[in-house]
Chains A and B, each alone.
Chain A
Amino acid sequence: MADMISQAEMREKYLRKGMLPTIFCNGCGHGSSLDYTFRAIEELGLDLDDIVFASGIGCSSRIPGYINADGLHTTHGRSLAFATGVKAANPDLNVVVFSGDGDATGIGGNHFIHAARRNIDMTVIILNNFIYGMTGGQVAPTSPKGTIATTAPYGNLEGAFDISELAKSLGAAYVARWPVFYPQQPIKSIKDAISTRGFSLVELMSPCPTAYGRRNKLGNIKNLWDWYENNSVLAEEYDKIMNYGTDEEKAATINKIKIGVFQHTEKVGFFEAYEEQIKNLMANDDKKWGGV
Chain B
Amino acid sequence: MRYELDPVRVRKILGNKKQFIMGDMAIAYGGLLAGVGFFGGYPITPASEVAEGMARMLPRAGGTFIQMEDEIASMAAIIGAAWSGTKTMTATSGPGFSLMMENYGYAIMTETPCVIANVQRTGPSTGQPTQGAQGDMLQTRWGSHGDMMAIALCPSTVQECLDMTIESFNLSEKYRHPVVLLADGEVGHLREKVVIPDVDEMELFERIEATVDKDKFIPYSESQTNPGSKVPDFPTFGSGYRSYVTGLTHNDMGFPATDKQPDHERLINRLVSKITDDREKLTDVEEIELEDAEVVFVTYGASARPAESAVRMARAKGIKAGMLRLKLVWPFPEKAIYDLSKKVNKIIVPEMSLGQMVHPIREFAAKDCEVIVAPKVGGVMHLPVELLEYLEEGA
Q: Which of A64, A88, A271 has the most CB of B within 10 A?
A: A88
Known contacts A69-B242, A86-B237: A114-B12 contact under CB 8 Å: no
A277 at the interface (CB under 8 A from B): yes
Partner-contacting stretch, out of B61-69, B121-129, B167-175, B296-304:
B61-69
User: B-facing mask of A58-87, CB < 8 A → 1, else 0?
Assistant: 000000110011111111001001111111
Collect the chain A residues with CB atoms within 8 Å of residue B155's CB.
none
B263 at the interface (CB under 8 A from A): no
- A85 engages B69 (CB within 8 Å): no
Closest to B251 in A: A18
Closest to A76 in B: B102
B290 at the interface (CB under 8 A from A): no
Shortest distance between the CB of B186 and any CB in chain A (Å) = 31
Q: Which residues of chain A (76-128) have a CB below 8 Å from chain B?
A: 78, 81-93, 110-111, 114
A48 at the interface (CB under 8 A from B): yes
Q: Which of B8, B9, B40, B84 is in CB contact (< 8 Å) with A90? A: B84
We find that the number of chain B residues with CB closer than 8 angstroms to chain A is: 52
Known contacts A72-B80, A90-B238: A114-B69 contact under CB 8 Å: yes
Collect the chain B residues with CB atoms within 8 Å of residue A82's CB.
76-77, 79-80
Shortest distance between the CB of B12 and any CB in chain A (Å) = 6
Complex CA–CA separation, A16 to B60 (angstroms) = 40
Closest to A271 in B: B64
Shortest distance between the CB of B212 and any CB in chain A (Å) = 17
- B242 engages A73 (CB within 8 Å): no
- A73 engages B76 (CB within 8 Å): no
Collect the chain A residues with CB atoms within 8 Å of residue B239's CB.
49
- A73 engages B244 (CB within 8 Å): yes
- A70 engages B12 (CB within 8 Å): no
Q: What's the dominant secondary structure at chain A's contact region? A: helix
Q: Which residues of chain A (13-65) have a CB below 8 Å from chain B?
A: 16, 18-19, 48-50, 52, 54, 64-65
Q: Which of B103, B243, B244 is in CB contact (< 8 Å) with A75? A: B103
Shortest distance between the CB of B6 and any CB in chain A (Å) = 6
- A65 engages B85 (CB within 8 Å): no
Closest to A64 in B: B244
A-B pair count, CB < 8 Å, reads 166
User: A-facing mask of B44-60, CB < 8 A → 1, else 0?
Assistant: 00000000000000011
Shortest distance between the CB of A70 and any CB in chain B (Å) = 4
Closest to A52 in B: B237
Q: Which of A16, A277, A289 is in CB contact (< 8 Å) with B244? A: A16
- B238 engages A85 (CB within 8 Å): no
Known contacts A86-B237, A292-B8: A78-B76 contact under CB 8 Å: yes
Complex CA–CA separation, A103 to B287 (angstroms) = 51
Shortest distance between the CB of B374 and any CB in chain A (Å) = 39
- A93 engages B237 (CB within 8 Å): yes
- B12 engages A81 (CB within 8 Å): no
> Size band of the A side of the interface?
35 or more
Collect the chain A residues with CB atoms within 8 Å of residue B73's CB.
78, 81, 84, 110-111, 114
Known contacts A69-B242, A88-B64: A285-B103 contact under CB 8 Å: no
A227 at the interface (CB under 8 A from B): no
Complex CA–CA separation, A83 to B78 (angstroms) = 10
Known contacts A85-B38, A89-B84: A278-B62 contact under CB 8 Å: yes
Shortest distance between the CB of A235 and any CB in chain B (Å) = 30
Complex CA–CA separation, A74 to B72 (angstroms) = 12
**The 9 nearest A-B residue pairs measured at CB:** A85-B80, A89-B84, A85-B77, A85-B81, A81-B76, A81-B73, A82-B80, A89-B81, A90-B84
B-side residues, CB < 8 A to A, are 1-3, 6, 8-9, 12-13, 37-38, 40, 59-60, 62, 64, 66, 68-70, 72-74, 76-86, 88, 102-103, 106, 237-248, 253, 255-256
- Extra pairs beyond A74-B79, A88-B40 (8, CB < 8 Å): A71-B244, A72-B245, A75-B76, A82-B80, A84-B76, A85-B84, A89-B64, A271-B64
